[in-house]
């Protein structure tokens, strides 16, 4: 593997000079423009839609409603399902239309689509569409929605309960709890956030009548994955849909699946015989992009009298919103419980998660996809145990870590960790953070009038499992470059650089002749998209195998060229040579010479493929925060992240991913919060005037350290890094903030730690209420 | 945005006659509030009369006793002026912390004052420094100019041409930012002026206001402890998801104390 010094990413020049090709940079002649009429209320029956005035507006071409989609045979937007135990409840998956029919279930739901000669005309005309509603009471809080008599969203989802999911061993867990010396309980609310890719939802739908082919130009994390879902809605074979994309401006999980508007523009294009473009706004991101989190969590930990963990049990209520997002089942259940007992040696445990329908935006996978829910609940529970039992926060963890001699380590739900060095990771973090010097730093902060807190958290997550084989094609081009083709689409991670580095490392060629191509029209390469921190693990491994295959094939040609037996040929730094001689030829010269017959594929072309399984990145993070008690402002002053992500391909890109993930986690902890009005169901934080995004520099004093324990589950030995920062940051920062507030009497504090909430918590604690900022309480059931 | 006519004004008089001819026309300064409102379709003027091309509204004149700033001078220019930094560093500081770099490069002193956003920074400086707002028609004392939520003493066809700030003995501005918008949740401008100490608060109420109790306490002794125990009643303050009125009231005291500390440094 090549480990040359990092000289920036291959895609950087394009990105930083604004010459990328994002969705709306694709330009087509004769394009019509779509604009969506959206529900101005959260829950209502649609009595009528009158588009006559809009249709009469000059420049308007058409207005589509749900009835048009029904007539065209549109199916529901799909939901990804998973295998179930035979006795398990089946999830209820109500129809999710691309334009509301009969009812609107969230404020902002698309009701009609106006198509006009220009975007401005479409916007003007959309104000002329008259929708008559019969208003219904909305419900936005998941516990409210579960109450008897609550407003019902879907006829086929009684009690607003999409799914009652269980994982682990309930009876065995209860038995251990019955004989525990101590039981510790903790409640927390993992509040709702809005994912904010830089590029809002947008698309151009192009129907090619001659080929009877749909081309969707849209932001995407995986063109074929997205195409397959669009095809389900259109009710056509997957092959009839091409998703085309070059650059995608951020994804975080919420750009993995198609949105209703995308399918509508494709139908509109078919009806009108013109490309139809939709330029979505930031307001529409807020209202109807897939949102994230919103879990009410309750955890219990049973311990023996020496502080050893016996069992854990969890009851979680997840607010899934008005419809199930495509990843709304998976990310909200199995992804939460896959690493159910974290890095701890706890043989028995149980979790129950209820997925609830409310009049809010649908919730989906979002950086970490469920794992940050469990890491936060688990680590806040362990922290609570240390405080309640007066144990050292390091020792309680150390005592219960899975030891290196316990691998493979099988969890109660069958998840099996292949390797790790949890104590080694922990010790690295303690050392890097100068753990024992904290009291001095706390005293120094106090002299400046600041409350200093710190916390250690461990985390472990499962990266997205294989599912289907991920193919990696290596194609020798006539211009002397090598094309890489695969189905995972970068939304900013640096795939062009990482995959080129893997391939160039094996082939001994310059990285800049290796060109990654993913979202091209007509491209059909087997595999999934990016998501669940899987691209390097899976596609990286497939490229590695593909590159080795190239070397193997090349050996035959080299033998011919050098007139020797293939057994006598060795390959090193891009050159074949006869062992012990100076007779040699480079791979690229061979490729030029032996290009096969015209019209045939190049004989060196190769495909690597594999169904790479789950890996388990893990780490120990230590954060220190300072709180200005006078104003409630919290600042992160240092953050040490020690991570075992297996073999590191490019540390700089790993560090970039960790910075991004940690900052995204910090954003949620320090302020991001999607708040719906409980009476009206309106989103109160619908713009950046009210929704604070994390800013550069928010995570001050950040140090990212590698502690690689290579996995044998894939040939790269890599474990995945895309989400690890976020999974680690939520519990680490939350616990550090509570640690800072404990000396002023606060014992419980639900995030986000906005200045006002922190100040209120301090005032309430002074007045004798140490848990004033606790949002919910649940009982295990 | 909705469609509108766009007109470049050649002079202030030209702008005034354009406005007189069209009751639904609006003046465009730097556009950092108005253009955002237009993009969200929250405003629908028939025409915009752009003052941006009137060169003689962009200047900073530092005299012996006062600084005069042309209405179309951008925040970035105010923040970077070496003469101003010497004369009234608090004002340069304030301008340098408005919005972000893009906003500061476009947004103007006159535009901010004319708009009178309840969370804008300039109104606090105007009242804190006993400024005079100069229009095409008259001179208006800052105390008489700001009339609460987006309301000012400006009449139809009246355009701000400059603002004159007397140079104080010392001054400072402390802003507690809204965590999302970065506007002032509470901003306090304190100054020791020839007219006595001033404490002007923005962000906390429906418009900028002075805290007379604090001014009197500072007149006795210009020191942080003079204001540290003075509470502003929460009754008339703004209350929203970012800061309820009691928190805002508390922040006024904290920011006033810190502003006095800063002014004394």
Q: Do domains A15-136+198-250+255-288 and A291-463+614-766 have the same CATH topology?
A: no
Asked whether the beta carbons of residue B181 and residue A671 sit closer than 8 angstroms, the reply is no
pLDDT score for A1 = 39
Asked whether the beta carbons of residue B181 and residue A690 sit closer than 8 angstroms, the reply is yes
The single-letter DSSP state of residue B233 is P
Q: Determine the distance in angstroms separating the CA of A386 from the nearest CA of chain B, rounded to an integer.
A: 33
In chain A, residues with a C-beta closer than 8 Å to the C-beta of B178 are 689
For A737, list phi and psi in degrees, rounded to 5. -65, -45
Asked whether the beta carbons of residue B241 and residue A690 sit closer than 8 angstroms, the reply is yes
CATH superfamily of B170-264: CO dehydrogenase flavoprotein, C-terminal domain (3.30.390.50)
The residue of chain B nearest to residue A671, with distances taken between CA atoms, is B179
The residue of chain B nearest to residue A629, with distances taken between CA atoms, is B254
**Domain residue spans of chain B:** 1-56, 170-264
**Distances from the Cα of B106 to the Cα of B73, B109, B111, B115, B173, angstroms:** 9, 10, 10, 15, 22
pLDDT score for A8 = 87
The residue of chain B nearest to residue A758, with distances taken between CA atoms, is B247
pTM of the full predicted structure? 0.96
For B34, list phi and psi in degrees, rounded to 5. -65, -45
Other Cβ atoms within 10 Å of A499 Cβ, number: 31
**Distances from the Cα of B237 to the Cα of A630, A760, B114, B199, B206, angstroms:** 19, 17, 22, 16, 7
Asked whether the beta carbons of residue B176 and residue A760 sit closer than 8 angstroms, the reply is no
**Domain residue spans of chain A:** 15-136+198-250+255-288, 291-463+614-766, 465-610
Domain A15-136+198-250+255-288 belongs to what topology? Aldehyde Oxidoreductase; domain 3 (3.90.1170)
pLDDT score for A468 = 87
Domain B1-56 belongs to what topology? 3.30.43
SS3 B69: strand
Measured distance CA(A379)–CA(A385) in Å, rounded: 10
For A722, list phi and psi in degrees, rounded to 5. -60, -30
Is B147 in contact with B140 (CB distance < 8 Å)?
no
Other Cβ atoms within 10 Å of B79 Cβ, number: 18
Measured distance CA(A670)–CA(A458) in Å, rounded: 20
- Write down the architecture of domain A291-463+614-766 according to CATH: 2-Layer Sandwich (3.30)
Measured distance CA(A119)–CA(A34) in Å, rounded: 7
Give B 60-89 residues with CB within 8 A of chain A: none
Q: Determine the distance in angstroms separating the CA of B180 from the nearest CA of chain A, rounded to an integer.
A: 4
Strands A60-65 and A295-303: unpaired
Strands A213-217 and A241-244: parallel
Could you tell me which residues come within 8 angstroms of residue B82 by beta carbon, excluding any fewer than 6 positions away? none
Burial of A447 (0-12, 13-18, 19+ CB in 10 A): exposed
Q: Rg for chain A (alpha carbons), in Å? A: 27
pLDDT score for A5 = 66
DSSP string for A532-554: TT-HIIIIIHHHHHHHHHHHHHH
Question: What's the pLDDT band for B55 if we cut at 50, 70, 90?
Answer: confident
- Tokens encoding A161: 């309960």
In chain B, residues with a C-beta closer than 8 Å to the C-beta of A691 are 180
Could you tell me which residues come within 8 angstroms of residue A161 by beta carbon, excluding any fewer than 6 positions away? A92, A146, A354, A355, A356, A357
Measured distance CA(A328)–CA(A338) in Å, rounded: 16
The residue of chain A nearest to residue B184, with distances taken between CA atoms, is A689
Asked whether the beta carbons of residue B247 and residue A692 sit closer than 8 angstroms, the reply is no
Q: CB of B194 within 8 Å of any CB in chain A? A: no
pLDDT score for A650 = 87
The residue of chain A nearest to residue B39, with distances taken between CA atoms, is A281
Q: Rg for chain B (alpha carbons), in Å? A: 18
Asked whether the beta carbons of residue B179 and residue A124 sit closer than 8 angstroms, the reply is no
- Tokens encoding A261: 């508007």
Measured distance CA(A423)–CA(A403) in Å, rounded: 8
Q: CB of B102 within 8 Å of any CB in chain A? A: no
Measured distance CA(A677)–CA(A681) in Å, rounded: 5
The single-letter DSSP state of residue A498 is H
The low-confidence residues of chain A, meaning pLDDT below 70, are: 1-5, 465-466
pLDDT score for A442 = 98
The highest-level CATH class for domain A465-610 is: alpha beta
* Sheet containing A633-644: order of strands: A450-460, A618-628, A633-644, A702-706
Asked whether the beta carbons of residue B179 and residue A123 sit closer than 8 angstroms, the reply is no
Asked whether the beta carbons of residue A631 and residue B242 sit closer than 8 angstroms, the reply is no
User: Is pLDDT above 90 for B124?
Assistant: yes
pLDDT score for A2 = 42
- Tokens encoding A302: 């049973």
């Amino acid at each position: 593997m090549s480990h040359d010094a990092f000289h920036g990413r291959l895609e950087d020049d394009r990105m930083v000079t604004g010459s990328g090709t994002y969705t709306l940079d694709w330009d087509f002649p004769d394009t019509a423009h779509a604009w969506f009429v959206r529900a101005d209320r959260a829950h209502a029956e649609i009595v009528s839609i009158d588009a006559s005035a809009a249709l009469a507006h000059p420049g308007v071409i058409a207005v589509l409603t749900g009835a048009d989609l029904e007539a065209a045979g549109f199916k529901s937007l799909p939901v990804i399902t998973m295998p179930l135990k035979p006795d398990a409840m089946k999830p209820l998956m109500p129809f999710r239309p691309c334009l509301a029919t009969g009812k609107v279930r969230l404020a902002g739901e698309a009701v009609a689509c106006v198509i006009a000669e220009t975007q401005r005309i479409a916007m003007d005309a959309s104000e002329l569409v008259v929708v008559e509603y019969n208003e219904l009471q909305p419900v936005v809080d998941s516990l409210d929605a579960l109450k008897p008599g609550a407003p019902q969203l879907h006829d086929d989802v009684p009690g607003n309960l999409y799914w009652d999911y269980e994982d682990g061993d309930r009876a065995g867990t209860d038995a251990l709890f019955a004989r525990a010396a101590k039981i510790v309980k903790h409640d927390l609310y993992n509040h709702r956030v809005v994912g904010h890719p830089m590029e809002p939802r947008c698309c151009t739908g192009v129907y090619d009548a001659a080929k009877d082919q749909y081309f969707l130009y849209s932001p995407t994390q995986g063109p074929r994955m997205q195409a397959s879902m669009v095809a389900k809605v259109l009710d056509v074979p997957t092959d009839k849909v091409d998703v085309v994309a070059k650059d995608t401006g951020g994804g975080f999980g919420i750009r993995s699946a198609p949105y209703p508007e995308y399918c509508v523009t494709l139908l509109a294009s078919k009806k009108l015989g013109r490309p139809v473009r939709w330029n979505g706004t930031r307001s529409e991101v807020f209202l109807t992009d897939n949102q994230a989190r919103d879990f009410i969590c309750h955890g219990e930990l049973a311990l023996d009298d020496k502080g050893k963990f016996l069992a854990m049990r969890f009851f979680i209520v997840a607010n899934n919103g008005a419809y199930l997002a495509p990843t709304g089942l998976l990310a909200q259940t199995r992804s939460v419980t896959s690493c159910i007992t974290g890095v701890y040696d706890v043989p028995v445990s149980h979790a129950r998660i209820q997925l609830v329908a409310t009049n809010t935006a649908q919730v989906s996978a979002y950086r970490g996809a469920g794992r940050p829910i469990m890491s936060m609940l688990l680590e806040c529970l362990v922290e609570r145990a240390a405080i309640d039992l007066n144990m050292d926060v390091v020792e309680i963890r150390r005592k219960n870590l899975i030891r290196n001699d316990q691998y493979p380590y099988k969890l109660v739900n069958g998840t099996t960790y292949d390797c790790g060095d949890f104590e080694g990771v922990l010790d690295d973090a303690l050392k890097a953070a100068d753990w024992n010097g904290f009291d001095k730093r706390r005293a120094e902060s106090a002299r400046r009038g600041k409350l200093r807190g710190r916390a250690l958290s461990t985390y472990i997550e499962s990266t997205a499992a294989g599912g289907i084989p991920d193919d990696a094609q290596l194609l020798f081009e006539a211009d002397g470059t090598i094309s890489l083709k695969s189905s995972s689409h970068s939304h900013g991670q640096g795939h062009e650089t990482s995959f080129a580095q893997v391939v160039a490392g094996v082939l001994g060629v310059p990285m800049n002749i290796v060109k990654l191509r993913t979202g091209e029209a007509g491209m059909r390469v087997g595999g999934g998209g990016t998501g669940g921190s899987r691209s390097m693990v899976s596609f990286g491994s497939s490229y590695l195998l593909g590159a080795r295959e190239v070397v193997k094939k090349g050996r035959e040609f080299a033998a011919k060229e050098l007139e020797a037996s293939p057994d006598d040929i060795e390959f090193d730094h891009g050159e074949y040579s006869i062992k012990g001689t100076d007779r040699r030829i480079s791979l690229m010269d061979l490729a030029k010479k032996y290009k096969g017959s015209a019209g045939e594929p190049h004989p060196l072309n190769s495909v690597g493929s594999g169904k790479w399984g789950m890996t388990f990145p893990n780490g120990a993070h230590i954060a220190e925060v300072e709180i200005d008690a006078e104003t409630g402002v919290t600042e992160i002053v240092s953050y040490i992240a020690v991570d075992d992500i297996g073999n590191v391909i490019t540390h700089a890109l790993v560090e970039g991913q960790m910075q991004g993930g940690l900052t995204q986690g910090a954003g949620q902890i320090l302020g991001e919060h999607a708040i719906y009005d409980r009476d009206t169901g309106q989103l109160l934080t619908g713009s950046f005037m009210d929704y604070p995004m994390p800013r550069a520099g928010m995570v001050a004093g950040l140090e990212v350290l590698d502690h690689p324990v290579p996995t044998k589950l894939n040939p790269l030995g890599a474990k995945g890094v895309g989400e690890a920062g976020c999974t680690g940051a939520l519990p680490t920062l939350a616990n550090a903030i509570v640690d800072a507030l404990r000396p002023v009497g606060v014992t419980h504090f639900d995030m986000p730690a906005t200045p006002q909430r922190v100040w209120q918590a301090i005032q309430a604690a002074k007045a004798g209420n140490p848990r004033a900022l606790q949002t919910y309480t649940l009982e295990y059931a | 945005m909705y469609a509108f006519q766009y007109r470049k004004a050649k002079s202030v008089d030209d702008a005034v006659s354009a406005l007189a001819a069209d009751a639904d026309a609006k003046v465009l300064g730097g556009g950092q509030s108005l253009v955002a409102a237009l993009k969200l379709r929250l405003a629908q003027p028939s025409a915009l009369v752009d003052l941006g091309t009137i060169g003689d509204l962009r200047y900073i004149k530092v005299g012996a006793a006062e600084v005069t700033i042309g209405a179309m001078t951008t925040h970035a220019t105010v923040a970077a002026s070496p003469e101003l930094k010497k004369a009234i560093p608090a004002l340069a500081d304030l301008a340098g912390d408005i919005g972000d770099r893009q906003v500061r490069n476009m947004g103007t002193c006159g535009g901010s004052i004319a708009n009178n956003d309840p969370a804008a920074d300039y109104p606090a400086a105007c009242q804190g420094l006993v400024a005079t707002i100069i229009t095409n028609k008259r001179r208006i004392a800052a105390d008489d100019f700001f009339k609460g939520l987006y309301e000012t003493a400006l009449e139809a066809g009246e355009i701000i041409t400059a603002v004159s700030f007397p140079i104080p003995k010392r001054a400072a501005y402390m802003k507690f930012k809204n965590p999302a918008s970065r506007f002032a949740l509470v901003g306090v401008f304190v100054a020791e002026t020839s007219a006595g100490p001033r404490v002007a608060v923005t962000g906390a109420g429906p418009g900028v206001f002075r805290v007379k109790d604090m001014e009197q306490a500072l007149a006795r002794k210009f020191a942080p402890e003079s204001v540290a125990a003075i509470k502003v009643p929460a009754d008339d303050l703004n209350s929203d998801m970012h800061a309820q009125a009691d928190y805002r009231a508390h922040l006024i005291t904290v920011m006033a104390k810190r502003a006095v500390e800063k002014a004394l440094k």
